[in-house]
Amino acid sequence: MKVLFINATGGGFAAPLEIAEGTTVGMLFLEQVGGDPKNYLIRVDRLPTTIHQVLHEGARISITPLKIEGARGVA
């Protein structure tokens, strides 16, 4: 099935992906991004979700880091 994967890490991009039926958000995250999902805001169809949600045909998945690399706190 096809989904749209929007990755806001680094340069950011959006790409249609072909994934297997039954793929979860966590499985897609590990394949496409890796690392600890707790450090990211993950949304499906613009709504925050967990890594356990099973994806559906036409879903729009966006992954945004909670902390931008190199950002400094205001002193």
Judge contact between 49 and 42, C-beta under 8 A. Answer: yes
pLDDT for res 65: 87
Residues facing residue 65 across a β-bridge: 40
* pTM of the predicted structure, to 2 decimals: 0.80
CA–CA gap between residue 39 and residue 26 (Å, rounded):
13
Determine the topology of domain 2-62 in CATH.
Ubiquitin-like (UB roll) (3.10.20)
28-42: pLDDT as tens digits:
999 998 889 999 999
pLDDT for res 51: 95
pLDDT for res 66: 86
Q: What are the residue boundaries of the structural domains of the chain, listed by start?
A: 2-62
CA atoms within 13 A on the CB side of 69: 4
* Residues of the chain with confidence (pLDDT) below 50: none
Per DSSP, helices labelled H in 1-75 are 25-32
pLDDT for res 72: 62
pLDDT for res 12: 67
